[in-house]
Amino acid sequence: SDSHFPIPIGPADFDYCHHYPYFFAPGSGGRSDGDAPPRKVRFADIGCGFGGLLVGLSPLFPDTLMLGMELRDKVTEYVKERILALRASNPGHYENISVVRTNSMKYLPNYFEKGQLSKMFFLFPDPHFKEKNHRRRVISLQLLDEYAYALEVGGIIYTITDVEELGDWMRSCLEDHPLFGAVPEEELELDPVVKLLSSATEEGQKVARNGGQTFRAVYRRIKLEEE
C-alpha cells in the first residue's frame, strides 16, 4: 500500500540533495549556478519501469534534472542501483537522473509545482483494457488537468504504446483537452527525444524485437487566453 513509501508533503519538501548530490551537495562548488534560481526537476518519466529512457536521455541533457516515477518497489530499487552503478563507473555522468517509488496518479502535485516541468513521458503504459478499468489509465481527461498544471506553457507530453486501442485513447484525450495541441510531424522529426521513445525503454525494445507496431501521440501544453 501507499503507506510504505514516503511522499514529500509538497514540491519544496522533495529531497534534491539526496537524489542529485552532484548538483546539490554542500561543497559541490555551487553547481546550482550562483545567483540563478535553484535547479528543479524538468523532465518526468511516468511509470519509468527499468529506467531505460532516463539512461538514454541523461547524456543528451546533462544539466537537466530528470525523475522517474515507478509504482513497483523492486523495479524502483533496480533503477536506483542501475543509476548508482552508472555514476560509479562514469564519474561526473548520470548525476542528473533519479527515481522515486510513488503512485504518480495520486501524488504528482506533491513533487512538482505549477509550470515546473518541460517534458513528461508516458512510454508503454499499462493498457487496462476493460471499460471499467479505463479510470486506471495513466492518461485521462482528469489527469491531463494535473499534467497541464505541472507542465510549463510550451512543455511537451510524449506518449507511445504498442496497443492500438490505448494509442487511440491517449490521442483522443490529448486532442479533447483544451490545454494541449498536437506537435506537428516536421517538428517531431527534428526532436532527438522522439527517437528514444521506441528504442530506449525495455518495453520498447521488447516490442521492436517482436516486430510490433507502435502508436505515438506527442502534444504541447498550450496557453489559454485567460492564463
**Span from 4-12, 33-41, 98-106, 174-182 in contact with ligand SAM (CB under 6 A):** 98-106
d(CA 77, CA 92): 22
Does 176 participate in catalysis according to the annotation? no
DSSP code per residue over 67-123: EEEES-HHHHHHHHHHHHHHHHHSTTSSTTEEEEE--HHHHHHHH--TT-EEEEEEE
Per the DSSP assignment, residues forming a β-bridge with 139 are none
Q: Please report whether residue 144 would count as binding ligand SAM according to CB under 6 A.
A: no
- The one catalytic residue among 73, 126, 162, 191: 126
Per the DSSP assignment, residues forming a β-bridge with 158 are 121, 218
d(CA 173, CA 48): 21
What cell does 75 get? 523495479
Q: Please report whether residue 48 would count as binding ligand SAM according to CB under 6 A.
A: yes
With CB under 6 A as the rule, give the number of residues binding ligand SAM. Answer: 20
Q: What is the smallest separation between the CB atom of 81 and ligand SAM, expressed in angstroms?
A: 16
Q: Please report whether residue 126 would count as binding ligand SAM according to CB under 6 A.
A: yes
For ligand SAM, the binding residue among 57, 65, 123, 218 (CB under 6 A) is 123
d(CA 30, CA 27): 7
For ligand SAM, the binding residue among 58, 96, 98, 104 (CB under 6 A) is 104
**Span from 19-27, 111-119, 142-150, 196-204 in contact with ligand SAM (CB under 6 A):** 196-204
Q: Please report whether residue 146 would count as binding ligand SAM according to CB under 6 A.
A: no
Q: What is the smallest separation between the CB atom of 47 and ligand SAM, expressed in angstroms?
A: 3
Question: Which letter, b or e, does each residue of 108-139 get, where b requires 16 or more Cβ atoms within 10 Å of its Cβ?
Answer: beebbeeebbbbbbbbbbebbeeeeeeeebbb
Nearer to ligand SAM among residue 23 and residue 121 (C-beta): 121
Catalytic residue IDs: 126
Residues that bind ligand SAM (CB under 6 A): 47-49, 69-72, 75, 103-105, 123-126, 138, 201-204
